Structure 1
Amino acid sequence: MTAVAADRIESAEQAYSIAAQLAAEFAVEAAERDRDRRLPHTEIDRLAASGLLAVTVPAEYGGADLPASAVAEVVRRLATADPNIAQIPHSHFVYLNLLRLAGSAEQRAHYFGQVLDGARIANAQSERGGATVAEIATTVRPEGTRFRVDGAKFYCTGSLFADLLAVLTRLDDPDQVSGLPAGEYIAYLPADTPGVRVVDDWQGIGQRTTGSGTVTFDGVLVDREQLIARSAAVHRPTAYGAYAQLLHAAIDAGIARGALTAATAFVRTTARPWFEAGVTRAVDDPLVIQRFGELSVAVTAAEATLAAAGLAVDAAIDATVPVAEASLAVAAAKVLADRAANEVSAALFEVGGTRSAAADLNLHHFWRNARTHTLHDPIRWKYQHLGRALLHDNPPPLHGVI
């Protein structure tokens, strides 16, 4: 896959404007793409060409160096239109952040330069078969003067659109031939590297066009310069986890807003009032009005806590507030965004009535997308971290998912 030529974005305001323009374009056929599972190759090319995927490249490498809060707002705007498209670059931004935190100067220059030229990064991280999702079976081991990667990854969001894959591996080097410390490494490698197989087998009920299929690695050879130790980003207070979780919350908040917008349009134009309301238009039914008020509060609260969490992550990265404070702010935002996305996307049918359930309208894609995306990490553990911080003064753990 060849990267497209990308424009350069210089400010958050420019990024927001471009995100809004693209969202308006992407919204037009979002329901049809979902219904037909038509992969958004053209749309992702547009996204890459816009320069939005390079907005976090540090200024010293020629990028806009936009903060986490700005990236979250870009992702939220995209998600209001098509949360599939918004999720595809999630790992792209996360692994650019890991590169910033843990990569060498040479690695940063190399990969940041590729991204400025339009390259797209996807994850190859999750696995099946272990006792928990935290267990990594995919290995990287010395082979001559190079390293060999073997294993299989699942839920590899964006892999069908990627130029580069960020592969989470476990170093298998018991004799310490490589001289590398034990632990987990991210291997950055071109998606067309020999031995890499990207399979379009994602069958989730939602987020159907994210390209979240399987990637296998069979004797894939990489150089030392392609490996980055993950511990420097994950096992220190770097806000790496808060950054990643913030973008997940942005997707959910965007789904909630998109569903509310669709529900509003449907009730205004198509829904019929319940006969007991004694009104001629659904929009005048006092119970419908009440419900929309409740849904509006849920979405507004999710957006407000997302914005506050974004500023907290910015401050943590700038070392003006503790990273634990940012992680807890993001945990609260994640809870409210999860709630809003699932509630509003389901309530769309409650306020729209039977007509809104017509299959050809595919209004259920909002609920399916919300239900699927919010499974990434359970909010019940966000409550745990928030409660433990309050009652026991325990900071959240350092594991990259908080």
Structure 2
Amino acid sequence: MTVVTAERITTADQAVRIATELAEVFAAGAVERDHSRRLPHEELDQLSASGLLAITVPAEFGGADLPPSVVAEVVRILAAADPNIAQVPHSHFVYLNLLRLAGSRAQRHDYFGKVLAGARIANAQSERGGATVADISTVLRPDHDRTVAGVESSQDDVTGGAASARIEARRFVVEGTKYYCTGSLFADVLAVLTRLDDPQGVSGLAPGEYVVFVPALEPGVRIVDDWDALGQRTTGSGTVEFAAVKVGPEQLVSRASAVNAPTGYGAFAQLLHAAIDAGIARGALAAAAEFVRTRSRPWFEAEVAHAVDDPLVVQRFGELGVAVAAAESTLIVAGAAVDAAVRPTAVADRAVARDGHSDAPGDGAQASIAVATAKILADRAANEVSAAIFEVGGTRSAAAEHRLDHFWRNARTHTLHDPVRWKYQHIGRAVLHNRPPPLHGVI
């Protein structure tokens, strides 16, 4: 486990203040880290030690239990400084939320305790080769050579349900290869998305997908530093291979328990992606303004002494400022909507529609639509502003020595995570047909 002494954050104001202080430190080396692809090991240890990675741990387990809106603001602040560092804990927060929603009490006590001590969780979810990104070939199968005799438990230990099953008497094996595993190079625990391969039903588990929490140093786990993307170059998003990795039932959590109900699970995950993009947009706008103020020359037809006084440049900065402000404003609205969706009374009132869609017009559906709106505007702002740096900065801004291209490369890479064109579809269906978005964890 990451060896740090983590602070304990107790309030939203404290979290925002610490994030702001860390952002100043991280910003100083962001350009050089990107240029040389120096992985931010030290910076992530600072992030762990700050206590920010434990701010969502429920109060009953010793955490601050801060709401999604605060997490989004922390991520946005960090992303404005270095979106690579901001993206690394995305899956950490998402899988802590999975444990909150679907983990057993023993699992929550175990993993929340580790996180309070500074541990980091990374995802091992995406795959290649399937017909779509939703196809999962990494398998979780019973280990027929490994059992623990005479031990029985309830299925609550894995799925959150109450049905009795002899799952504690069975060990499991994880086999497969994952790609784009953001944060895996810095992780203590890998959250591995698997498909149960148990046609005979010997495990006692329901068919479906399970997230398996695997120690990063477990025998059979191989983490490969092969991430070579256009942007977000220091997120440690490489390949992870699982070769007959032995796991126990206490490491399994049913994904369906969190995703196939209007829990706000997908909205929370997407909220943090929108926060990263909004942060990139804000950082790019600040860099563009600084360059124009200090380095750009005015176009001769403007008949002004300084580029900052060119009325067309001023106009363009006004447009860019509106784009960034719109992204940030809708992020705040979306954060409040997700807060409402995950509040205890909303959770108690959940209902699952038979057609696999959330309960219209429930808080979960409203949160997903609000987050989709924020994601669209943040995507647009990040890509527009990061490209406009060169438009407003002039020819000299394209010189390699200034290294202004990392804003656009980061924006273009991160916004590929999931297509905003489908966000428009879900919003349009809600407006025209009052149809809530689907329950699949990406809206």
Give the TM-score taking structure 2 as reference length.
Answer: 0.90
Q: Is the 8 A contact 2:120 2:187 kept in 1?
A: yes
1:5 CA drift (Å)? 1.6
Of the candidates 305, 322, 336, which is equivalent to residue 363 of structure 2? 322
1:97 CA drift (Å)? 0.2
Q: Are 2:299 and 1:258 equivalent residues in the alignment?
A: no
Query: Aligned partners of 2:280, 2:52: CA distance in 1, in Å?
Result: 20
Q: Is the 8 A contact 2:2 2:120 kept in 1?
A: no
Q: Which residue of 1 aligns with 2:89?
A: 89
Q: Is the 8 A contact 1:3 1:120 kept in 2?
A: no
Q: Is the 8 A contact 2:337 2:363 kept in 1?
A: no
Q: Which residue of 2 aligns with 1:349?
A: 390
Q: Which residue of 1 aligns with 2:373?
A: 332
Q: Which residue of 2 aligns with 1:43?
A: 43
Q: Which residue of 1 aligns with 2:104?
A: 104
SS in structure 1 at match of 2:199:
coil
Q: Are 2:78 and 1:70 equivalent residues in the alignment?
A: no
SS in structure 2 at match of 1:189:
strand
Q: Are 2:299 and 1:274 equivalent residues in the alignment?
A: yes
Q: Are 2:283 and 1:293 equivalent residues in the alignment?
A: no
Q: Which residue of 1 aligns with 2:236?
A: 211
Of the candidates 368, 379, 382, which is equivalent to residue 420 of structure 2? 379
Q: Detail structure 1 runs of 4+ shifted over 4 Å in the superposition.
A: none
Look up the equivalent residue of 2:118 and give its one-letter code: G
Query: Aligned partners of 1:367, 1:95: CA distance in 2, in Å?
Result: 28
1:162 CA drift (Å)? 0.2
1:352 CA drift (Å)? 0.3
Q: Is the 8 A contact 2:61 2:113 kept in 1?
A: yes
The Cα offsets for residues 313-335 of structure 1, whole Å up to 9 and x where unpaired, read as 00011145521000000000000
Q: Which moved more, 1:319-328 or 1:16-25?
A: 319-328
- Structure 2 unaligned segments of length 5 or more: list them: 148-170, 347-361
Q: Are 2:279 and 1:238 equivalent residues in the alignment?
A: no
Q: Is the 8 A contact 1:88 1:158 kept in 2?
A: yes
Query: Aligned partners of 2:295, 2:40: CA distance in 1, in Å?
Result: 29
Query: Aligned partners of 2:399, 2:33: CA distance in 1, in Å?
Result: 17
- Report the structure number with the largest CA radius of gyration: 2
SS in structure 2 at match of 1:28:
helix
Q: Which residue of 2 aligns with 1:308?
A: 333
Look up the equivalent residue of 1:280 and give its one-letter code: A
Q: Is the 8 A contact 1:206 1:371 kept in 2?
A: yes
Q: Which residue of 2 aligns with 1:10?
A: 10
1:113 CA drift (Å)? 0.2
Q: Is the 8 A contact 1:68 1:310 kept in 2?
A: yes
Q: Is the 8 A contact 1:3 1:163 kept in 2?
A: no
Query: Aligned partners of 1:54, 1:158: CA distance in 2, in Å?
Result: 16
The Cα offsets for residues 49-95 of structure 1, whole Å up to 9 and x where unpaired, read as 00000000000000000000000000000000000000000000000
Q: Which residue of 1 aligns with 2:226?
A: 201
SS in structure 1 at match of 2:195:
strand
Q: Are 2:391 and 1:366 equivalent residues in the alignment?
A: no
1:180 CA drift (Å)? 0.5
Look up the equivalent residue of 2:367 and give its one-letter code: A
Query: Aligned partners of 1:31, 1:352: CA distance in 2, in Å?
Result: 18
Q: Is the 8 A contact 2:282 2:324 kept in 1?
A: yes
Q: Which moved more, 1:1-10 or 1:350-359?
A: 1-10
1:116 CA drift (Å)? 0.2
Q: Is the 8 A contact 1:124 1:167 kept in 2?
A: yes
Give the TM-score taking structure 1 as reference length.
Answer: 0.99
Q: Are 2:52 and 1:27 equivalent residues in the alignment?
A: no
Structure 2 counterparts to residues 159-174 of structure 1, below 5 A? 159-174=184-199
Query: Aligned partners of 2:363, 2:51: CA distance in 1, in Å?
Result: 31
Q: Is the 8 A contact 1:156 1:212 kept in 2?
A: yes
1:374 CA drift (Å)? 0.2
Query: Aligned partners of 1:127, 1:26: CA distance in 2, in Å?
Result: 31
1:393 CA drift (Å)? 1.4
Q: How many residues align?
A: 402
CA RMSD of aligned residues (A): 0.7
Q: Is the 8 A contact 1:147 1:224 kept in 2?
A: yes
Q: Which moved more, 1:312-321 or 1:108-117?
A: 312-321
SS in structure 2 at match of 1:141:
strand
Query: Aligned partners of 1:48, 1:239: CA distance in 2, in Å?
Result: 25
Query: Aligned partners of 2:210, 2:5: CA distance in 1, in Å?
Result: 30
Look up the equivalent residue of 1:302 and give its one-letter code: A
1:2 CA drift (Å)? 3.1
The Cα offsets for residues 295-340 of structure 1, whole Å up to 9 and x where unpaired, read as 0000000000000000000001114552100000000000000000
1:151 CA drift (Å)? 0.1
1:274 CA drift (Å)? 0.5
1:147 CA drift (Å)? 0.4
1:3 CA drift (Å)? 3.5
Q: Is the 8 A contact 2:123 2:181 kept in 1?
A: yes
- Structure 1 unaligned segments of length 5 or more: list them: none
Q: Which residue of 2 aligns with 1:184?
A: 209
Query: Aligned partners of 2:242, 2:399: CA distance in 1, in Å?
Result: 42
Look up the equivalent residue of 1:130 and give its one-letter code: G
